[in-house]
Amino acid sequence: MSRIVIALGGNALQANPKDTTAEAQLITARQTSETIVDLIEEGHEIIVAHGNGPQVGQIVATYEASASINENSPIMPFPECGAMSQGYIGYHLQQSIRAEMRKRGISKQVATVITQVIVDPKDPGFKNPTKPVGSFFTEEQATKLSTEKGYTMKEDSNRGWRRVVASPLPIDIVEEPIIMTLVEAGHIVITVGGGGIPVIDTGDGNLKGVPAVIDKDFASCKIAELINADLLVVLTAVEQVAINFGKPNQQNLSRMTVEEAKTYIKEGQFAPGSMLPKIKAALIFVEAKEGRKAIITSLEKAKDAIREVAGTIITK
């Protein structure tokens, strides 16, 4: 039996990027739960993490659209939008995992922990916000939002102007003791949704939410470290990591050491917006303690990858 943190990629929540309805997400969550419950059935302790990019974007855009129609309609602060997305995605996953376990006669509880993740207010990411969120605006609207709300607005690939927020690294997870208690009691926990809600320590023992997006792969790595997981499984759209991706000499990797991965990173083999953060998170987790492994693979191959017959397995 292993303690496994599974970081679900976007395709595990929205199979069709063009269908962003809650109904479609619930159907996809039910399919995703089959793989998760396969691992529970084998006796593993499972902790589920997930992204929230499309979902939090929809929530932000809805409030922005409402405010554009009625100027008295408030725009919800970004940390609260992240909390909403955690709850709504967690609800779908809880319901789906529970239903699949009941179908198989597994008597376990599953719960979502709305998770706050501490970040450093001096993190370099705050000086150069890069993560686009919410709706597209005209330059005139963007200037007004920047002046009135203090937003950082950037032009996005000739499609219009969007708000951008920072992407700081996670330092600690506030609810880690609760998560550990639930895991050790045999429950399935859904946590650090969308990378968690970024908060800073105000210095008086209190926490304050900040407008930022923590990469869910780094947050998954952090919770895996804190609860002493044996394995970090990062699920994405491809079965294996590849070098020379998309070229005639593309090579898929079934295994990779930390040193090999660092060499490939120096060579620029992994795209910054997609595979690179997954590799970096895997390296942090594997290097922190002897005997740990990380796996990068697709949802469909997760079970085989844990048996080490699929995916890319990263070891020290």
- Residue 311 sits at φ, ψ, to 5 deg, of 70, -175
pTM, two decimals, is 0.92
How is residue 311 written in tokens?
């995916």
- Over the stretch 83-137, which tens digit does the pLDDT of each residue have? 999 999 999 999 999 999 999 999 999 999 999 999 999 999 999 888 888 778 8
Q: Pick the catalytic residue from 216, 222, 280, 293.
A: 216
Contact 50/216 with Cβ under 8 angstroms? Answer: yes
Q: Looking at residue 166, what DSSP letter applies? A: B
Task: Reply yes or no on whether 266 is catalytic.
Answer: no
Q: Looking at residue 169, what DSSP letter applies? A: P
In three-state secondary structure terms, 152 is strand
**What ranges make up the beta strands (E) of 26-151?**
45-50, 110-112, 116-119, 131-137
Task: Reply yes or no on whether 10 is catalytic.
Answer: yes
How is residue 36 written in tokens?
């998760």
| Residue 64 pLDDT level (bands cut at 50, 70, 90) | confident
Task: Reply yes or no on whether 222 is catalytic.
Answer: no
Query: Taking residues 246-258, what's their average pLDDT?
Result: 95
- The domain spans of the chain are 3-119+173-195+212-315
Q: Pick the catalytic residue from 51, 125, 194, 278.
A: 278
Q: Of residues 257 and 149, which shows the higher confidence score?
A: 257
Cα–Cα distance between 216 and 168 in angstroms, integer? 11
In three-state secondary structure terms, 76 is coil
Domain 3-119+173-195+212-315, CATH 3.40.50.1000 — does that match?
no
- Residue 297 sits at φ, ψ, to 5 deg, of -165, -175
Query: Taking residues 188-209, what's their average pLDDT?
Result: 95
Amino acid, single-letter form, for residue 222: K
- What is the overall mean pLDDT for the chain? 92
